[in-house]
Amino acid sequence: MKTIKGPAIFLAQFAGDKAPFNSLDAICQWVGSLGYKGIQIPSWDARLFDLDKAASSKDYCDEVAGVAASHGLTITELSTHLQGQLVAVHPAYDAQFDGFAAEHVRGNPRARQEWAVDQVKKAGTASQHLGLNAHASFSGALAWPYIYPWPQRPAGLVEDAFDELARRWRPILDHFDECGVDIAYEIHPGEDLHDGVTYEMFLERVGNHPRANILYDPSHFVLQCLDYLDFIDIYHERIKCFHVKDAEFNPTGRQGVYGGYQGWVDRAGRFRSLGDGQVDFSAIFSKMAQYDFAGWAVLEWECALKHPEQGAAEGAPFIADHIIRVTETAFDDFAAGGADRDLNRRIMGID
């Protein structure tokens, strides 16, 4: 059995233009002081990481790892959530997602998509240079506007959308296979891969690709009313990354899953800091231990109420307290009598 690694923290929600959040060295010093042992790096944030340089220079990657190590930290994974989103964008979201892309490809969906594919591939190469075995990303979405359709979807629309999604991702997955790195898609509303069924639809279309795996985040399942513990039982072999994020779902007579177009504070379903929501993390960490999850427990902070610095400070001890140091012995080993086949046959009444 394996003990999960952590606590770690995803830096995306903390990076900013003011110290200590505006450089890798400064943010690592801050993170290390809070008790974290690992960092998940957003590859799009040039204040912290140069993806182009990382893909072309192992020396640069060694320098980045050295900065983290100087503060007692390990790089857990790189993330291409923003670039992965741009691999597949429905035209309804073109204007909103343009800001995720480099300025020279904005307003040109084809060029933007080609840029995104190149970015994700570079992240695979950079991950290899860093000695990582998993990578966090989004799948993007072509069918999401039709999740709850009126009028009814044309026959075959969803199937065609997933065929195209698989066509776009297959070369990226092959590149990651060459790099020896798993892509862990965050199963997330807004993505075509938003639950177990849609993940299976995609997996079938990429030929059960060994690199097409899962980033598990229970908060997104709470907001879908999906059994997040059963999900681990079903998909544990494919879970390669883990975001530790809390959430709550409190439906009323006025609103439910869809939230009535309200902001995060006023929604029935909203994200919370660790321990403030409804996620049963004791059960989750138990299942992770049961299934030998060998990766990192990574805080992703997205609380609708609490200040991020308070959430980060509370997150490290919360995760540390939930990590189960797995046992190497059975509790009743003291009473073991050793192997004796003759005794076993006598106990069963076999001559």
Residue ranges covered by each domain of the chain: 5-347
pLDDT at 340 > cutoff 90:
no
> For the chain, where are the E strands, in sequence order?
5-10, 38-42, 74-80, 134-137, 182-186, 212-216, 239-244, 246-249, 269-272, 296-299
Tokens of 52: 């182009």
- In one letter, which amino acid is 112? R
pLDDT of the residue at 35 = 98
| Closest-CA residue to 186 (of 140, 131, 132) | 140
SS3 call for 43: coil
Per-residue pLDDT of 126-151, as tens digits, reads 999 999 999 999 999 999 999 999 99
- Dist. CA 5–CA 22, nearest whole Å: 26
Q: CA torsion sign, 88 to 93 to 94 to 100?
A: negative
- Token pair 């776009």 in the structure block, residue: 168
Please name the residues in contact with 139: beta carbons below 8 A apart, sequence gap of 6 or more.
Answer: 84, 87, 88, 165, 169, 185, 191, 192, 193, 202
pLDDT at 325 > cutoff 90:
yes
pLDDT of the residue at 293 = 97
Per-residue pLDDT of 184-222, as tens digits, reads 999 999 999 999 999 999 999 999 999 999 999 999 999
pLDDT at 183 > cutoff 90:
yes
Per-residue pLDDT of 231-286, as tens digits, reads 999 999 999 999 999 999 999 999 999 999 999 999 999 999 999 999 999 999 99
pLDDT of the residue at 114 = 98
Query: Quick one: pLDDT band at residue 346, thresholds 50, 70, 90?
Result: confident
| Closest-CA residue to 210 (of 184, 239, 179, 177) | 177
Burial (Cβ within 10 Å: 0-12, 13-18, ≥19) of residue 291: middle
Query: Quick one: pLDDT band at residue 4, thresholds 50, 70, 90?
Result: very high
Tokens of 337: 């009598």
pLDDT at 12 > cutoff 80:
yes
pLDDT of the residue at 29 = 98
Q: What is the average pLDDT value for the chain, to the nearest integer?
A: 96
Query: Quick one: pLDDT band at residue 311, thresholds 50, 70, 90?
Result: very high
Q: Does domain 5-347 have CATH number 3.20.20.150?
A: yes
DSSP class per residue in 251-311:
--SS--TTGGG--GGGSSEEEE-TTSSS--HHHHHHHHHHTT--SEEEE----SSS-HHHH
pLDDT of the residue at 342 = 86
pLDDT at 339 > cutoff 90:
no
pLDDT at 74 > cutoff 90:
yes
Regarding predicted confidence, which is higher, 176 or 1? 176
